[in-house]
Amino acid sequence: MSDTPHGGEGSGAASLKAPSSALHSPLSAASCWIGLGANLGDASGTLQRAVAALAALPGVWVVSVSSLYRSAPVDAAGPDYWNAVAELGTTLPPLALLHALQAIEGAEGRERPYCNAPRTLDLDVLLYADQRIATPELTVPHPRMAERAFVLLPLAELAPERVSAAQLRAVAGQRIDRVADQAWAGLPA
C-alpha cells in the first residue's frame, strides 16, 4: 500500500478532476474497492477489526472481502504484509469515505514517520465507482495499484473485470501467497 494511502500525485494514468461537488456531496449508492494492508503487530487481527470497522460506518456496507494474502514489502523494508481488498457499497462521497478510512487507521495506531514506513493498518481507496479523481488529498484510481500484486490479485477475486491479464502478468514476479479464503474476515455468508 502507499504511504500517501489514499492516492497522491503522479499516477501516470490520464486523470480527470472530479467536480468539487462530487467529492463533498452525498451520492446515490456507489461501489468502491478498498485495499487493506498491515505488517506490524497482529496484522491479520488488525485487518479483521478493520473490516468490522468498515461495516460499522454509517452509509457504508461491506459487499464482499477477498481472500487474505501475505506479501513482501514493495519499495520498503520490514516484515511481510497481510493484504486483502474489500468491496463496499456507500452513500458517502469520496472525501468523506477517505476521512473515515483515516480515522480507522488512526484508531489502530497508524503513524506516518517516513515514506513507506511499516504500518499497523493501511486503508487505500483503490476505486470509487467509475470516477477519476485527482486532488491533493485523493487520487482515484489509486496511482500505484497496477504495479502491485497485493492489490491486483485480491481485487481480481472480487471484480475480475477491473483487472486485466496484462496487469496480472506485469506483477507476476512479486512474491505473494494466499493464506486464507474469504472466511477470514468473519462476515456472515
> Is residue 9 in some structural domain?
no
For this structure, is 110 an active site residue? yes
**Residue 136 resides in a domain:** yes
Which residue in 70, 119, 144, 148 is the catalytic one?
119
Give the pLDDT band of residue 188 (cuts 50, 70, 90): confident
Q: Would you say residue 17 has pLDDT above 50? A: no
Task: Place 156 in a pLDDT band, splitting at 50, 70 and 90.
Answer: very high
Question: HEC string of 47-110?
Answer: HHHHHHHHHHCCCEEEEEECCEEEECCCCCCCCCEEEEEEEEEECCCHHHHHHHHHHHHHHCCC
**What is the mean predicted confidence (pLDDT) over 130-138?**
94
Return the residue matching grid coordinates 479483521.
48
Mean pLDDT of the 34-62 span: 95
- Contact assessment for residue 88 and residue 60, using Cβ atoms and an 8 Å cutoff: yes
Q: Report whether pLDDT(66) > 90.
A: yes
Give yes or no: 148 in active site: no
124 labelled catalytic: yes
Q: Say how far apart CA 151 and CA 56 lie, in whole Å.
A: 23
- How many domains, the chain? 1
Enumerate the β-bridge partners of residue 36: 84, 123
Q: Indicate whether 59 belongs to any domain.
A: yes
Mean of pLDDT values over 29-47: 94
Interatomic CA distance for residues 168 and 47, integer angstroms: 24
pLDDT score of 76: 76
Cell numbers linked to 54: 468498515
Q: How confident is the model at residue 5 (pLDDT cuts 50, 70, 90)?
A: very low
pTM of structure? 0.84
Query: Considering 70, 110, 144, 148, which one is annotated as catalytic?
Result: 110
pLDDT, position 116: 65
CATH number at residue 121: 3.30.70.560
Residue 99 lies in a domain: yes
What pLDDT does 75 receive?
79
Q: Is residue 173 part of a domain?
A: yes
The dihedral formed by the CA atoms of 101, 102, 104 and 106, expressed in degrees to the nearest 10 = 170
